[in-house]
Amino acid sequence: MTDFSDIYETDNGMTLPDGVHVFARDAALGNVTILEDTVVMHRIEPTDALPETAVRQASIAVVEIDSANPASLARLEMLRSMRPDMPVIAGLAAAPVSMVRSLLRKGVSDVLELPFSSEELVAAIIDVARSSAPAPSPVKLAPVVAVLGTAGGTGATTVATQLAPLLSAHMEQGGRTALMDLSLQSGDAAAYLDVRPRTAINHLFDAIGRIDDDMIRSVAIQCEGDVDLLAAPEDIEPIESVPAETINRIITETRKRYSCVVLDMPSTLTNWAMPILLSADVVVLVGVGRISALRHVKRKLSLLQMLGRDRNSISIVLNKTEGGLFKRSDVSQMEEVLNHEVEQILDSDPALIDEAQLQGRHVSSLQKRSRLAKQFAELASSVSQKIEKDV
């Protein structure tokens, strides 16, 4: 591809495609000879036979037509029969409306006046190439799991950082999970994973129209368990200063490149958080396993239901419960109050959690047989099942 943005105004650096062949007399070429290094010129009369090899090789044909000569029109018909799907740009010395309409009905993509103008020809080639290009294949977007604390201090970030690597294991072989720390003012995911980011997610805010693989890689930090972290910024900024469109675009671009995306949401909800909670495949609602904290769970659950969340796509997790405190009857009573199933109880094991976060590891890699490791594994399995049902 050749870039003509320094010569012509071609829509921010649009490029001419390879394989453009021009069939015309010298007198009809006008100033398009300056394109000779880019397009293939065939200096022939409007009634001469078109070189078959050139016709086979062409991606776009630019053809001079003598509208008063039946042989020239027949040549066009032959070209269309040989390459019915190839775009053709016709050049006419005089272009009456009736002839232009006739040529367009015959499948000609555009009609230009002779002699050719390089500016008009370049614009026509770009337009034809753009309109004839095959539609891009739809990109499969990874599922999104939003982890939301019912209040500060519930351990939602711990759940997010421990859940992400387990979800990677449930995805297809070789898949990776992106963990996005959207607690933009107080995000602790990097500290909990024991990594020191060079750049953070706010690096993408000002480059929203230029996000590509390299830019994502420059922000994502590889962590244990096939997880890449997009960390919260170091500096505290107004949390509402980021437009919802920007956050949504970053999430979409991340979903294109990973097998699963886990969002560590701020417990204080912002305007941009609402559509995320509505569109996520699964919302993991994390509360503290105490009766006194139940009202926080109920308030956030009511909000999610008010937003229209399917109750089956909400997983309630009660964290930091003392071992053996909750009997099945206790959980049933809480479920009755919430009018919702409690998906998982997570034991309080501060020593194990502290050690895991100090080393940036999953609890199962430290104590595989611990109750907490088993509980996290059960949570990941149930969330994965919800994702599969949603897909």
Angle between helices 156-170 and 371-390 (to 10 degrees): 60
- Domain ranges in the chain are 2-132, 144-390
CA 213 to each of CA 59, 216, 229, 252, 254: distance values in angstroms, whole numbers, following the listed order: 30, 5, 15, 13, 9
> Is residue 118's pLDDT more than 50?
yes
Determine the Cα–Cα distance for residues 377 and 305; give it in Å rounded to an integer.
27
Query: What are the tens digits of pLDDT across the range 254-270?
Result: 999 999 999 999 988 88
Is the CB of residue 219 less than 8 Å from the CB of residue 238? Answer: no
pTM attached to this predicted model: 0.67
2-132 classified as CATH 3.40.50.2300:
yes
- For the residues 359-363, what does the mean pLDDT come to? 91
Which two three-digit tokens encode residue 197? 């980011």
Supply the mean pLDDT for the chain. 87
- List Cβ neighbours of 296 (8 Å cut-off, separation of 6 or more): 150, 151, 154, 287, 288
Given the structure tokens 């490791």, which residue do they identify? Answer: 373
Is the CB of residue 350 less than 8 Å from the CB of residue 319? Answer: no
Q: Band of the pLDDT at 301, cuts 50, 70, 90? A: very high
2-132 and 144-390: identical CATH topology = yes
Given the structure tokens 């290094």, which residue do they identify? Answer: 37
Give the three-state DSSP class for 28.
Answer: helix
Query: What are the tens digits of pLDDT across the range 137-186?
Result: 677 899 999 999 998 889 999 999 999 999 988 887 778 999 999 998 88
Is the CB of residue 305 less than 8 Å from the CB of residue 311? Answer: yes
Query: What are the tens digits of pLDDT across the range 179-236?
Result: 999 998 888 999 999 999 888 998 888 788 788 888 999 999 999 889 999 999 988 7
Q: What is the CATH number of domain 144-390?
A: 3.40.50.300
Is the CB of residue 214 less than 8 Å from the CB of residue 185? Answer: no
Determine the Cα–Cα distance for residues 209 and 212; give it in Å rounded to an integer.
9
Given the structure tokens 């519930």, which residue do they identify? Answer: 154
Is the CB of residue 349 less than 8 Å from the CB of residue 370? Answer: yes
β partners of residue 110: 89
- List Cβ neighbours of 318 (8 Å cut-off, separation of 6 or more): 287, 288, 289, 297, 326, 334, 342, 344, 345, 346
Given the structure tokens 């949504």, which residue do they identify? Answer: 248
